[in-house]
Structure 1
Amino acid sequence: MQRKELTAKGKATRRRIVEGAAEVLREQGVGSATLEDVMARTGTSKSQLFHYFPDGKDELLLAVARFEAEQVLEDQQPYLGRIESWEDWARWRDVVITRYEAQGDTCPLGSLFLQVGRSTPGARAIVVELMQRWQEYLAAGIRAVRAAGGPRAEADVDTRAAALLAAIQGGVSILLSTGDSAHLRAALDQGIADLRRDLEPAGAATPR
């Protein structure tokens, strides 16, 4: 059955519930938080909650997962969306490290997927979309510096963007396991240094 399109007020209410649920899940953990906790935080009744999430907790968890995926990119803005120079790459790098150091050894998005399971309809699509959008931003940044790079500015942009994203994810995984951001820092620094080495014209100043 096709669901009715929400009004602007309905969309705002639904988003408020999702944001409130995200706060509860971050504070209490996905396994401990209940729908009652979400209702108390957001000031909604059970009937109102199920009006916006007819399939119950799993549907709400997927909505929160999508919200958390959006936050991954939003937390990197405006830097991720306007990488046009090596200075911009450095600013973006600092924002990424700060974000994940603040997050520490817990991952709200990862915890959500452990709860709902990647086989749940729509779950895998959220991760795929997140990675595609993130990679597209990185590819745009590579194209921007390549356009200004001159004769040496040759690179497989999509492959480079994919490799940098994979390096970041590896560094984040180690951070989640150890609480140490050293590998994330190394992955970003080496990835950007490799890009700069390959894209800058011969004779350009060596990065500090």
Structure 2
Amino acid sequence: MPDAPTTKGRATRARIVEGAAEVLREQGVAFTTLDDIRGRTGTSKSQLFHYFPDGKDELLLAVAQFEANRVLTDQQPHLGRLDSWESWQRWRDVVVERYELQGDQCPLGSLFLQVGRSRPGARAIVAELMRQWQEQLAHGMRALQANGLVSPVLDVDRTAAALLAGVQGGVAIMMSTGDSTHLRAALDTGIEHLRGTAGEPTARRA
């Protein structure tokens, strides 16, 4: 990826990526051309290839990174403030709302189908998204521990991983069926499990 050393260059590249993301969401990856993106972003062909010399696949990877960041941004500020049961409930509601609004169209998933999940860049984007998401869930669980709301010996990292896996499974089923029941169940069961650890003996691990 070429450097964008100036503020103007970084802004231009960001504008292209954001505009491309809008077009891809509206038209779908398979039906979007570089001309569509150039028309939306007001960029010339030479300008587009200056920032994305490898063409559409490189641009799609940049949009995939943008969409991955958006997954976590859409959950804020709640995901970053999981220090009470009220904040966990607000986060749960935001996650359900986000994916219900998204429906059966996942921009991130469509992008990875186009560029190939096995590509190192694509795999790195997914891995980093999941790492950050799990890390923030674990941070929230530690905040609950600090406030005496869950067991101090709760295996936070393992519990955060299980909750994230449940969310991802629920989203996958929802995309296949159009029904958010499984996503809601995964979130509610995960939070209920956390609540249930509050009275556990300190010698027991979750």
Instruction: Establish whether TM, by shorter chain, passes 0.5.
Output: yes
Residues 116-160 of structure 1 show CA distances to partners (whole Å, capped at 9, x for unaligned) of 001223110000000000000000000011122279432111000
1: CA distance, partners of 2:177 / 2:132: 28
My pick for the range that moved more, 11-20 or 149-158, is 149-158
2: CA distance, partners of 1:119 / 1:152: 39
Q: Residues 32 and 153 (structure 1 numbering): CA distance in 2 closer, same or farther, change over 3 Å?
A: same
Maintained 8 Å contact 2:67/2:107? yes
Unaligned runs of 5+ in 2: 201-206
* Counterpart in the other structure of 2:124: 125
1:149 aligns with 2:152: no
Maintained 8 Å contact 2:81/2:87? yes
Question: Which structure 1 residue ranges, 4+ long, deviate > 4 Å from structure 2?
Answer: none
* Counterpart in the other structure of 1:12: 11
TM normalised by structure 1 equals: 0.93
1:113 aligns with 2:112: yes
Q: Which amino acid aligns with 1:121?
A: P
1:24 aligns with 2:26: no
My pick for the range that moved more, 151-160 or 183-192, is 151-160
2: CA distance, partners of 1:24 / 1:187: 32
Over the aligned positions, Cα root-mean-square deviation in angstroms equals: 1.4
* Counterpart in the other structure of 1:160: 159
Sequence identity, in percent? 70
Q: How does 1:150-189 map to 2 (within 5 A)?
A: 152-189=151-188
* Equivalent residue pairs, number: 200
Maintained 8 Å contact 1:105/1:176? yes
1: CA distance, partners of 2:6 / 2:174: 41
1: CA distance, partners of 2:151 / 2:49: 58
Q: Which amino acid aligns with 1:10?
A: G
Residues 90-130 of structure 1 show CA distances to partners (whole Å, capped at 9, x for unaligned) of 01000000100000011000000000001223110000000
Residues 57-115 of structure 1 show CA distances to partners (whole Å, capped at 9, x for unaligned) of 00000000000000000000000011111111001000000100000011000000000
Q: Residues 178 and 151 (structure 1 numbering): CA distance in 2 closer, same or farther, change over 3 Å?
A: closer
Helix, strand or coil for the counterpart of 2:186?
A: helix
Residues 33-68 of structure 1 show CA distances to partners (whole Å, capped at 9, x for unaligned) of 000000000000100000110110000000000000
* Counterpart in the other structure of 1:38: 37
Helix, strand or coil for the counterpart of 2:26?
A: helix
2: CA distance, partners of 1:14 / 1:146: 42
TM normalised by structure 2 equals: 0.94
* Counterpart in the other structure of 1:68: 67
* Counterpart in the other structure of 1:138: 137
Unaligned runs of 5+ in 1: 203-208
Q: Which amino acid aligns with 1:67?
A: F
